[in-house]
Amino acid sequence: MDIIILTVRQSGNRKGPAADLVQLYIERTSHFHPCKWLQVRSVDEVWAQREKPASHLILLDPRGEMRTSEGLAETIGKLRDSGKRTLLFAIGPADGWSAADRDRAGALLSLGKMTLPHELAAAVLSEQIYRACTILAGHPYHCGH
Amino acid sequence: MDIIILTVRQSGNRKGPAADLVQLYIERTSHFHPCKWLQVRSVDEVWAQREKPASHLILLDPRGEMRTSEGLAETIGKLRDSGKRTLLFAIGPADGWSAADRDRAGALLSLGKMTLPHELAAAVLSEQIYRACTILAGHPYHCGH
């Protein structure tokens, strides 16, 4: 199962320490699943990714469910075992997802009650995806923190 | 009011993108309050910092209250207005705070349900402190995200 982190951003690049963190965790996650980060310019491009066969899309949204790291690992494990081929996580535009986007997505996930800037949210998400992979693999990373 | 972020870590240094993020947000926060990051080797050193006159200590702990960014801003604003001279936020050792530490602290704060590595938690905390300062100052940063 491929894992793709999508961030919707009209402008700006992916430089700076938060972007470096995302790259670092994506590299580590790649030991478990092919993983990449795509920065897209519009929500339509998120839905275009969703067209991939056997894909599942999770939108990051404050209305979503807050999960523990173990809970997110369980979700990822179930999707993998159900035969999904691509798991997409998408961080929305600055003004958030529309109600229609939220209805259309497979699931909503919240990282917490605090508002995070775009790339810091991507850093936290990418770390949690890596952590989930280590939990599923019985790798000691999660126990060390 | 001075703001100090304390991280308890037996070993290791503060290099890498997560540490760079903490430094970046501390620098930005310094426009509003003197702010620094102290890495200490033991919990005793946290309590030594608490000896400063008119100080208030908030421990980061999963049992703590989850706050919105606006809620954290309100807390910081009230402490500032009540005449506190030093506000300490402390991220504990890998095995967490003891029950005695939790009882002794002024307050517990949780960043969310997910387990974060030490320095990523420090990055999120430092961003939230900066964000709180901008909310209190009516600075547009918070509205842009």
pLDDT at A144: 64
Alpha-carbon torsion (A126, A131, A136, A137), positive or negative: positive
List, for residues A20-47, the tens digit of each pLDDT value. 999 999 999 999 999 999 999 999 999 9
Average pLDDT score over chain B: 94
Could you tell me where the beta strands, DSSP code E, fall in A9-145? 35-40, 55-66, 86-91, 107-110
Averaged pLDDT for residues B7-29:
90
Q: Which residues of B104-138 are buried (b: 16+ CB within 10 A; e: fewer)?
A: ebeebbbbbbbbbbbbbbbbbbbbbbbbbbbbbee
SS3 content of chain B, % helix, strand, coil (to 5): 45, 25, 30
Check CB contact under 8 Å for A94 and B131. no
Percent of chain A exceeding pLDDT 90 equals 86
* Angle of helix B17-29 versus helix A118-137 axis, rounded to 10: 150
List, for residues B100-132, the tens digit of each pLDDT value. 999 999 899 999 999 999 999 999 999 999 999
List, for residues B42-97, the tens digit of each pLDDT value. 999 999 999 999 999 999 999 999 999 999 999 999 999 999 999 999 999 988 99
pLDDT at B15: 83
For residue B142, the distance in angstroms to the closest alpha carbon of chain A comes to: 8
Q: Is B22 on the interface with A (CB under 8 A)?
A: no
**How far, in Å, CA of A117 to CA of A120, rounded?**
5
Per-residue pLDDT for B145 more than 80? no
Closest CB to A115 among B20, B69, B115: B69
Contacts for A27 with CB less than 8 Å, ≥ 6 apart: none
pLDDT at B144: 64
Average pLDDT score over chain A: 94
List, for residues B33-46, the tens digit of each pLDDT value. 999 999 999 999 99
Taken in order of first residue, the domains within chain A and their CATH numbers are 2-144 (3.40.1280.10)
Which residue has tokens 């491929």? A2
Which A residues in the span 80-139 are in contact with B, Cβ-Cβ below 8 Å? 94, 111-118, 120, 123-124, 127-128, 131
pLDDT at B30: 97
pTM given for the model? 0.95
**How far, in Å, CA of B114 to CA of A18, rounded?**
18
Spell out, as residue ranges, where chain A has pLDDT lower than 50. Answer: 145
CA distances to A30, B4, B58, B124 from B19, in Å = 23, 15, 20, 11
Interface ipTM: 0.93
Lookup: tokens for A31: 């030991």
**How far, in Å, CA of A60 to CA of A64, rounded?**
7
**How far, in Å, CA of A41 to CA of A17, rounded?**
21
pLDDT at B61: 96
pLDDT at A143: 78
Which A residues in the span 29-48 are in contact with B, Cβ-Cβ below 8 Å? none
Q: Is residue A64 within 8 Å of A110, Cβ to Cβ?
A: yes
